[in-house]
Each structure stands twice: as structure tokens, then as C-alpha cells.
Amino acid sequence: MDKKRVLITTAIDYTNDVIHIGHAYQKILADCLARYYRGVLGKENVYFLTGTDEYGSTNQKAAEKRGVTPKEHVDEISSKDKAELDALNLDYNRFIRTTDADHRETAQKFFQKVFDNGDIYKGSYTGLYCEGCEAYKTMSELDADGRCLLHPTRDIQKVEEENYFFKWSEYSDFLKQLIEAKGFVLPEGKRREMLGFIEQGINDLPVTRPGYKVSWGI
């Protein structure tokens, strides 16, 4: 039988600003898990990934505010983030940056493959957009004042734009089947939450941003 192999990843952090003490928690937990699995499965069977998420309007705006180019901005923040993680003595296999050449290439290939498969189409969309999340929000994801629960200091924008969409709705049954298997998502409470989310009905997802709004992207 093949030996089990494990991939552990942290969230990769937005480079709008340098990470802070609050980020240490999940990184240290992930590092503990990686060290544990290396002990149990052998070093070669464990891959621990962390890094920075560097494209999009949040990063572009942060750079504009500082009067530097997006690339200069993300280079600086990313290297500061990495120094913070190294100060915690995290034993990661790779610190990935979404601006890395191999990541750019893989993202493009992946997008093309999904497009060729007929799962991406062009459409227009009116929605409530949170720049902090870089995501559209439903009314249930906003507080009583119409603000993002995660970014209560930012204004939610009503946006209409032409985008390419991923046919996420067509994968409802597939996802449901996966997640219905007990133990597929842990803890159990989160598994139920995900099932509840799918049962509400999944909407297709805009997977591009118009170039006139965001030039800093793949």
C-alpha cells in the first residue's frame, strides 16, 4: 500500500499590509501539524505551504496610497511577512507568492482547462462587493448597517460589471456528495455548516475582474 502523503497549507496572506500577531496562531498550529506528520510519516511525505496572496484591488490600492508600484509594494510586504514567519521558526517547505512565475503559469493553465471544459462563461453581474474580502456578499453576510462582518470599517460597493463566471451551481450535487461523507470536513460542525450553505443553493461565481478596474492581476 502507498504510504500516506499530507499537504498542509495556511491561509496565504494578503499583502495590503504586514501580518500581525493574530496571524501567528494559525501558522503555529499548521507548523505543529507538519512537525507531527513528519515524525509519523517521514519528512518526504509531508509538504507544508505558506505564503502571500499578492494580486487584486486591495493590493493595488494599498500601493497607490503609498505612491509605489504594486510590484514594489508586494515585494516589500511579502519579504516582511516572510521575516515574521521565520522569526517564529516555522519549518515550511515553501513560502509561495502568487506573483511567482510558476504560480502565474499554473493559474493560467488551470483557468484555460476549466474554460476549455465549458465551465466558464461571460455574463454580467450586479452585486454587493467587499474590497476587503475581494468577494461579492449576500445580504445575509452583511450586518444590520449593510457592512461586511469581516470588514466593518469599509463601505460595501454596489457593482455592475461584465465578468467571466465559473458554473459553480452545476457542481452542487458533486460537492454535496463529497461533504456528506462524515469526516470529509472536520470539525463536524463546519461540515454541517458547509452542507447548509450548499442546500441554500449555490450561485455561479465571478472569477475575473475587469481590467479597467484592476490592472494588478494574472
What are phi and psi for residue 44, nearest 5 degrees? -70, -10
| Residue pair 191/198 in contact by the 8 Å Cβ criterion | no
- Exactly one of 130, 156, 179, 214 binds Zn ion (CB under 5 A); that residue is 130
| Residue pair 78/15 in contact by the 8 Å Cβ criterion | yes
Cβ closest to Zn ion, residue 41 vs residue 132:
132
Q: Is 151 in the site for Zn ion (CB under 5 A)?
A: yes
Cβ closest to Zn ion, residue 8 vs residue 12:
12
Using CA atoms, how far apart are residues 18 and 9, in angstroms rounded to an integer?
A: 19
State the minimum distance, in angstroms, from the CB of residue 159 to Zn ion: 14
C-alpha cell at 70: 504594486
- Exactly one of 150, 162, 177, 203 binds Zn ion (CB under 5 A); that residue is 150
State the minimum distance, in angstroms, from the CB of residue 133 to Zn ion: 3
Using CA atoms, how far apart are residues 158 and 125, in angstroms rounded to an integer?
A: 10
State the minimum distance, in angstroms, from the CB of residue 149 to Zn ion: 7
State the minimum distance, in angstroms, from the CB of residue 132 to Zn ion: 4
Q: Is 207 in the site for Zn ion (CB under 5 A)?
A: no
C-alpha cell at 71: 510590484
Q: Is 127 in the site for Zn ion (CB under 5 A)?
A: no
Using CA atoms, how far apart are residues 76 and 15, in angstroms rounded to an integer?
A: 9
